[in-house]
Every structure is written in C-alpha cells, then in structure tokens.
Structure 1
Amino acid sequence: MARWVLAGLALAIAGPAVAQDAPADPPQRVRNATVYGDEQCPKPDSDDEIVVCARLNENERYRIPKRFRDPPSQRSADASWAQRADTAMEAARATRPNSCSVIGTGGQTGCTQAMLRQWFAERRQQQAAERAIP
C-alpha cells in the first residue's frame, strides 16, 4: 500500500512538469507610447509586440518635458574644481582691495584705477574711430 501512495505522490509532483508546454518566447519588440486625454493606446503591429502606454493630462501635451524645464545647477557635483574656484573668486571680488566698492575694508582703493582704465578704454576707442575716417 505504501508503494502505491509513493507512486501516486510521484505522479502528482511530476505530472504538472510533464504536462506543461514549452515556455513561450519573450516578445521581440516593446513599444512605448504617450497618450493624452481620452486618446486610445495604439494597437500592436504584430503578435510579437507589446505596447506600453503612459497617459498624461491633456494640458501636458504642449509643455516642455519636466526633465528639460529646469536649467542645470551651477553647484552640480560634476563641476570641475577650477570652475568652482572661479565662482568663489567672482563672488568675493567685491570685497577685495582695489575693487572700487563700498563693501569691505579696502574697496575704495580701486576707484582711481577703475577711472583710469575707463579713460584709457575711451581714448583707445576714440583713436580707432579717428583712424577709420578716410
């Protein structure tokens, strides 16, 4: 009797494994589509294709996608150390001596130099304009 119970148990375990069909092949093509409002999801072109649809509100149709809306951050982790140093130097430039600024202890010392640079630039521009006259 024990032999018949073991034989029946063996058939019960092996039966589903023997009766199964060969595994189906995975689809060869997966197509992603975005539909808006009440639009229908497109139908697959063949039996070997799966169509995955994402449904968005109708007012999102003509908007710039979210991943493109915000400009990249200036403080990103992939910025070079040279760029970070230049940003820090530019932020501190107004408080340095010779900056002609009311901020900082030596800011007023650069006003004369700034006026002279402006005068020489205007002078060079005037001379270039005079040379251009035939």
Structure 2
Amino acid sequence: MLARLLIATALLAGPATAQDKSTPQDPPKRVRSILLYGDDKCPAAQNPDEIVVCANAGESPYRIPKRFRDQPKEDAASQAWTNRVETVEEFNRAGLPNSCSPVGTGGQTGCTRKFLQQWYQERLDAKAKAARTTAPDPDAGTNP
C-alpha cells in the first residue's frame, strides 16, 4: 500500500510527458477576439503566431434581445376599467369640496380632513410600535 502511494507521488511530481519539448512555450504574437452575429463563421488565423477567439453574440448587434421584447404594456388601454375610473375621479376631484386643492372654493376643507387622518394614523402606528417594543415578559413577574 505504501509502495503504491510512493509511486503515485513520484509520477505526479515528474514533468508531464505530453508536452512537446521541441516547440517553444512563448505566448502567441497576436490574439484576436471576434463577436459573431447570426450565421457568421469564425475566420481562420492569418499566420501561425495568431490565435482567433470567436464568441456568438446573438442574432444582430442592432436587435433587441429576446428577454426584453414583448414586455407587458402599462398604458391606459392595458389597464382594468376600475383603475381607469379611479384615476379619472382622482384627477377631477381638484377644486371640489374636501379635495385639499388650491384650485376652487372648497379645497381648503379637504386639507384639514387630510391632516387629521394623517395625524390619527401616525398615532395608531406609534401605539402599535410601543406595544411591540414594550411587551411584558411573562417570566419577569411584576414591575415595581
């Protein structure tokens, strides 16, 4: 068992026999990187000291990639009628009573209402946050 391990280690430590010692190990003098589109063919090297690297870049350099084509539309025609009606109603509320708008005679009444609703919601959020952070510990007993 030990002899096999020593033989395997000696074989791995030696030089690789597949390398040809007669050819120099210099890097190539020229490397060309080419992007191919569609059915283009990779050109051959012009001389032996040149390496040509080709990569397929898709159909065309001027065409939108397939993953970006046919995205779902978000224009008005692609929306549900309910969303369209809500948008129109919100837009037409300007100037009406309770709209909080500087346009029209009844806009100021909506601002007070809006501020009161915002204050009430902030108060509810603060109470909920306080209840989460100061939850009593069942193992702690009573506080003095």
TM tier, shorter chain? 0.3 to 0.5
More helix by share: 1
Normalising by structure 2, we get a TM-score of 0.43
